[in-house]
Structure 1
Amino acid sequence: MTANVDRSAEQLAVLLLAGWHQGRGPAYLRLAQSLATQIRTGRLPAGSRLPTERALARALAISRTSVVSAYSALREEGVIVSRQGAGTWVAGEVRAKPMDRPGPPFVREAVADPAALCDFASGIGTADPYAVEVITGGDWLGDLAAETATRGYLALGLPALRDAIAEQYRHAGLPTSAEQIVITGGAQQALSLIAAAVAEPGGLAGVQNPTYSGALDAFSSAGLMPVPLAAGPEVDGRSLAEALHRHRLRLCYLIPTCHSPTGSVMPASTRAEIAAVAAANDVPTVDDTTLAGLLLTGDPPPVLASFAPDAPILTVGSLSKLTWPGLRIGWIRAPAARLAAIAAAKKAVDLGTSVVSQTIAVRLVAGLAQATARRRQSLLESLDCTEKLLREQLPQWQWHRPDGGYLLWISLPAGDGTGFATTARQHGVPVMPGWQSSPNNTHTDRIRLCYGHPPDLLRHAIPRLAQAWHSYLGEI
């Protein structure tokens, strides 16, 4: 049974504002629709108590009449119930509409669809040639043999791998010791461990809007409520400071390099501002560098921690995108004082990441520079092919060419991302609806499209994507 989530008027206002302001029609109707979305998507489970009409009106800076009318409309639909003197709460039986939120609660990040002609919803699936050579060559077996003489439970990670990753940071100019590295089962586990280490009931995690949908999964599952740090994906020192002033954030989560899903790169000057704010406010701030190796031109700016080495900045990295996702090797780099709670969470989850995978990873870390160059060339070819075909086949779609990553953040000229995603999946070319990358379920007119596929496959799949679009237009 899902636990009740009683939101204060201020917390509920954070959830409602973006969706309410982007809607159309009378204020009360837009507010009712935004509330219904939060209820049907599981953010306000059955039994959750809602603020009084007066308190919510004050938090939203609207008339009490609008809130009264919105509550009344939802009561008529059976979505909420009220009793004189007892307040208002979410009804015990709220039936989700088919298009509101596919899938189980808190699961947004796509899982690969093996039946699809081309899965535009999930990430890079192929291994780097050098990774294949290392994994299948077996030269690492001798190193593994030495480890089998031990129990193999290394909660913080294989010492050789921790030092190899620390050396990568030292080489980039950020002093780092092996004691500042925790090896995880991919970046997704790293985010889950961080969330578990800082979570408290009703706690807030500040994120960009849009952001990586897997982070929203991790934070929500830990009991943190993701809230936007700014109106859009761009966050600077000022907007971060304002968000910290408005909310008591337990965590801030940023993707400065090759942002997911827009592919943008944060300037070095902005990174310095954000690091200074994080240090001054002592707020744990995640710098997710999982996609940093996929920058399409030039070198990535320094990580956030480079600008404030003693600040509570948690740098998350992974081998998945450059070598092979199936290896499931990620890590957290943090000040030593911040690692105790994370290490405790790691021990509680799995006692340590697979030593076999870590032994292979030691070899792969040494070849990351070459893997980066190969992956960049491959992505550039795929991006050029994708953009050319989309302009020919779907000229009304709009997007900005990304600075890096493997995603296009596409604005649809009609309909909505959820409806089109349903049709696209039926045509064997799944895409991810934009709201799944949003902490407050906005960006409904967007889709996230993974272009990191071989050009030969893209030439077959994008015409199918165009067929799905024309089919969808006939349905709306």
Structure 2
Amino acid sequence: MPKMDAAELSRMLGDWARPGRLLPDALAAGLLELIDAGFAPAGSVLPAQRDCAKALGVSRSTVASAFAELEARGYLASTVGSGTRVRSGRAAVATNGRLFSFTHSAPGVIDLSTGALPASEVARRELATGVSGLDDYLETDGYFPAGLPVLRQAIADRLTRDGIPTVPQQILITSGAQQATYLAMRTLVSPGDLAIVEDPTYRGGLEALRTLGARVQGVPLRSEGIDVDLLGHALVRRPAVLYCQTGIHNPTGTTMPRGTRAEVGELVNGAGTAVIEDCCSYDLTRGPGVARTLAGHVGDDLLVMIGSLSKLFWGGLRVGWARAGASRIRQILELRKAQDLATSVMSQLLATQLLRHAVEARRERRQMLASRLGSTQEVVREIFPGWRWEPIRGGTGLWIDTGGDVLALAEPAKRAKVRLAPGPSFSPQDGQRTMLRLPLWHDPQMLAEALGRI
């Protein structure tokens, strides 16, 4: 029977404590919602009461009362020595709640749980002008499963200018990078297959692997990138895929040195292991140019690169892309037809317009993030002087070591109407228990208010 970790339960419960409602009643209601939705399916084992109480920031008696209420109603069953299991409920929904924070916040809530940026000034300006070139497509059926040729060409040209020679046939346009990641993984991973990831890594990648039923092994991320020696040992197990970020890493903001990148390439080429490289943040370096990737170190027959326009322009466009060899692109293409047929023509035309201003958008984002990095660090040092972090090379957040149990911070923060992104969300084994990912872009006054509430 699957056993739920306390960090996983905390994520999926979300803002479970309701004003004016007793905590045991509110917790029981939150658990019942998870059971009814299939997120805690029949047969799954809940964390021990002591672990739940610690993770949720409540007394053990609160947890015991909530469990007892649901047991009396027939939803839970407790056995001495075996813990508490879900007795009845819907069929399982394959998720562990890592993306549950991507929902609209209630009024008064300050959301520090995501590093996603608001629209750039470049995007606001171009979006205000409207879509050009739409008339040429109105006589077609509007379905372009691989993407508009003009956008595929624009992305191929951009990658080529960035030092990654690319032709349009190597590009597939998707409805955001998360879809590209999921589809690429689905071409490579079957239920029960082993997938290797960095620990920590992007939580959306972990959620996709969980949905596909993969067994996930984390390899520690060091200051010089993934631990190459441990990666070599992991590849001996013949995993189906390595999912990694060697450019600007989410959530740590680090960059893998060229030498380490070459070692990783040599290892995966030798093992014949397919690689999905998340390159969504490679524009957001602190210096000139873009971050390097595994392109050139890993053959196109093994490497799938994932990119997005969300970081430079706006996530609301929902335009992402995958770059791979022609045969892999064909596989992904056929899978995406069954999912949503094609990405919006209007979004793709807007994306094509925006890419003409990519250099300007990079400059704007870097200036904004550099400024907010300074102000964010000042606020954090003032309010939590004991927190520590390593210098970052880019990206939209700080990876902070709080020195304590971050779940014990996140749960009271929910009740203070502040959403946080605890480290376990970014770990395949719900590790990183002292770490917190804090976004950079918030106004200093708002950030100070949020941390002050905590």
After TM superposition, the score normalised by the length of structure 1 is 0.75
Matched, 1:440 2:429: yes
State how far apart, in whole Å, the 2-side matches of 1:273 and 1:236 are: 10
Residues 45-444 of structure 1: pairs in structure 2 closer than 5 A: 76-79=80-83, 93=87, 105-109=95-99, 110-111=101-102, 112-113=104-105, 115-138=107-130, 140-141=131-132, 143-230=133-220, 234-245=225-236, 247-414=237-404, 416-444=405-433
Asked if structure 2 preserves the Cα contact closer than 8 Å seen for 1:267 and 1:301, the reply is: no
Partners of 1:183 and 1:287 lie apart in 2 by 16
Q: Return the alpha-carbon distance in structure 1 between the equivalents of residues 252 and 94 of structure 2.
A: 25
- Confirm or deny: 8 A CA contact 2:115 2:438 kept in the other structure: no
Is the 1:78–1:94 contact (alpha carbons within 8 Å) kept by the matching residues of 2? no
Alpha-carbon distance in 1 for matches of 2:367, 2:88: 49
How far apart, CA to CA, are the structure 1 residues paired with 2:322 and 2:289? 21
Q: Match of 1:326, as an amino acid? A: G
Q: Partner residue of 2:21?
A: none
CA contact (8 A) 2:192 2:215 kept: yes
Report deviation, 1:44.
11
One-letter amino acid of the structure 2 residue matched with residue 336 of structure 1: A
Return the letter of the residue paired with 2:151.
L
Q: Amino acid of the residue matched to residue 431 of structure 2?
A: T
Q: In structure 2, how many angstroms separate the alpha carbons of the residues matched to 1:358 and 1:334?
A: 20
Distance 1:170 1:162 in 2: 12
Residue 100 of structure 1 corresponds to which residue in structure 2? none
**Secondary structure of the corresponding residue to residue 276 of structure 2:** strand
Structure 2 counterpart SS, 1:409: strand
Deviation at 1:231, TM superposition (A): 6.5
Q: Counterparts of 1:115 and 1:105 in 2: how far apart (Å)?
A: 27
Q: Judging changes above 3 Å, is the alpha-carbon distance between structure 1 residues 309 and 175 closer, same or farther for their aligned structure 2 residues?
A: farther
1:75–1:282 CA distance, 2 compared to 1 (3 A): farther
Deviations 1:280-315 (A, max 9, x none): 222110111111111112333432112234341111
Contact 2:195 2:214 in 1 (8 A): yes
**How far apart are the structure 1 equivalents of 2:88 and 2:230?**
36
Listed one character per residue, the Cα deviations across residues 433-464 of structure 1 (whole Å, up to 9, x for unaligned) are 111110001111222111222xxx32233243
Work out whether residues 427 and 465 of structure 1, in 8 Å CA contact, stay in contact via their aligned partners in 2: no
For 1:78, the aligned partner's letter is S
- Counterpart CA distance in 1 for 2:251 and 2:387 is 16
**Aligned match of 2:66:** none
Size of the aligned set, in residue pairs, is 383
Contact kept, 8 Å, 1:394 with 1:466, in 2: the verdict is: no
> Could you give the per-residue CA deviations for residues 72-119 of structure 1, whole angstroms, max 9, x where no partner exists?
xx9634338xxxxxxxxxx55399xxxxxxx99322133152534532
Cα distance in 2, alignment partners of residues 352 and 424 from structure 1: 40
Evaluate the alpha carbon distance shift between residue 146 and residue 122 of structure 1 in structure 2; reply closer, same or farther with a 3 A threshold.
same
Matched ranges for 1:22-33 at <5 A: none
Cα–Cα, structure 1 residues 284 and 179, in superposed 2: closer, same or farther, change >3 Å? Answer: same
C-alpha distance in structure 2 between counterparts of 1:172 and 1:194, whole Å: 23
**Using a 3 Å threshold, how does the CA distance of structure 1 residues 378 and 365 change in structure 2: closer, same or farther?**
same
Contact persistence 2:282–2:291 (CA under 8 A): no
Letter in 2 for 1:443: Q
- TM-superposed deviation, 1:237: 4.3
Q: Please state how far the C-alpha of 1:171 moved relative to its aligned partner.
A: 1.5
| Distance in 1 separating the partners of 2:172 and 2:351 | 14
Q: Aligned partners of 1:325 and 1:340: how far apart in 2?
A: 26
Alpha-carbon deviation of 1:198? 1.4
Identical aligned pairs, as a percentage?
33
Between the aligned partners of 1:238 and 1:343, the Cα distance in structure 2 is 35
Q: Normalising by structure 2, what TM-score? A: 0.78
Residues 417-448 of structure 1: CA deviation (Å, up to 9, x unaligned): 22211222222331111111100011112221
For residues 263 and 254 of structure 1, the distance between their equivalents in structure 2, rounded to whole angstroms, comes to: 13
Structure 1 SS opposite 2:348:
helix
- Counterparts of 1:117 and 1:383 in 2: how far apart (Å)? 22
1:13 matched residue in structure 2: none
Gaps of 5+ in 2: 4-34, 46-77
Matched AA of 1:404: G
Change (3 A) 1:445 1:306: same
Q: State the alpha-carbon separation in 1 of the partners of residues 222 and 216 from structure 2.
A: 14
Determine helix, strand or coil for the equivalent of 1:146.
helix
User: In the alignment, what sits opposite 2:453?
Assistant: 467
